[in-house]
Amino acid sequence: MDCRADIDACDYDLTVSDSMSDSRPAGVAQVGVLPGDYHIHTTFSDGTGSVAACIERAISVGLTEIGIADHLSAVQPSVWEIPSISLAQLECYVAEVREAASRYDEITVLLGVEADYVPEHETQLRALLDGWPFDYVIGGVHGVDGFDFDDPARRHDPRWSDSDALLAAYYETVRRAARFGGFDIIAHLDYIGLWGHTPGPGVGDSIDAALDAIATSGAAIELNTDRFSDPAGVMYPSGELLRALGDRGSPLVISSDAHAAEHVGRLWDEAMERAARAGFCGALRLSDRTLVPLPQRAAAADH
Ligand SMILES: [Zn+2]
Ligand SMILES: [Zn+2]
């Protein structure tokens, strides 16, 4: 699916929506239908907000669709010490998200998970995902070859002395995640750069192979707005990779990776501007798998 077009060619509805209240916090768009936020953590993993609190926040900032997506590791405890929904709690998680969703007419709430991708655990992950009625699954790569690269305690680990090798291993893991085929969204691509390491020319082939695999899989690429808790202070992926995925026809989702209810929908204006710069004029609505135009006022005002 080619979800992009020249920005000037997009037919946007710039009508101010009555449903978007003046109480919306700074950084949230004022026009159009906002793209849904599909990467939200709750107290079922490492978030601080309840499912209901996250839904109510989403309504208050004008979102019409969200997805709850707590961490899920197929083999527990996780090799990365990621706080997963415990397997014993999974039934409660599914029931609580479904029940909460049924209580709100003004917003569509989907049931998702952020599945931790570990190549050696593919069989267990596939069996787990097949056993539950998730509306969608986000694939997250949080470590490579047994190395927990985002652990601050390992920031000066000797493995970083050959950062290109580590980055190439990361993109190889992403490629395998895409080939796994079980993911609707690839989370925070480029996250390996959180400590400031940038890929040398020798990593280019690995990056291209990962991008090709993502595009071939049909998974959407996530623009992750959580630059506040990121050591590098950036949104993932980089503008360059975002554009490269758009060139390959990958659809886009914008998500907050919220770990607190007040972070749901955060920095939507900035994210939509980044998406527009990368050539996207639409985002994927997961409930019906259709592309909807991005509100463009913020981007248009700068051009
Ligand atoms: Zn993640
Ligand atoms: Zn996450």
pLDDT tens, position by position, 104-151: 999 999 999 999 999 999 999 999 999 999 999 999 999 999 999 999
Q: What would the pLDDT profile of 150-189 be if each residue is shown by its tens digit?
A: 999 999 999 999 999 999 999 999 999 999 999 999 999 9
Q: How far is the CA of 138 from the centre of ligand 2 (A)?
A: 9
Average pLDDT over residues 187-192: 96
- Comparing C-alpha atoms, which of 257, 246, 266 is closest to residue 34? 266
Q: How far is the CA of 18 from the centre of ligand 1 (A)?
A: 34
Q: How far is the CA of 123 from the centre of ligand 1 (A)?
A: 20
Q: What would the pLDDT profile of 24-43 be if each residue is shown by its tens digit?
A: 334 444 445 789 999 999 99
Domains of the chain, start order = 33-301 (3.20.20.140)
Q: How far is the CA of 12 from the centre of ligand 2 (A)?
A: 30
How far is it, in rounded angstroms, from Cα 138 to Cα 177? 11
Average pLDDT over residues 208-218: 98
SS3 labels along 175-202: HHHHHHCCCCEECCCCHHHHHCCCCCHH
- Placement of tokens 């050591």 in the chain: 231
Residue 34, pLDDT score: 87
Residue 297, pLDDT score: 54
Protein residues placing their CB within 5 Å of the ion ligand 1: 140, 187
Q: How far is the CA of 300 from the centre of ligand 2 (A)?
A: 30
Q: How far is the CA of 82 from the centre of ligand 1 (A)?
A: 9
pLDDT category of residue 80 using cuts at 50, 70 and 90? confident
pLDDT category of residue 77 using cuts at 50, 70 and 90? confident
Angle between helices 122-130 and 163-180 (to 10 degrees): 40
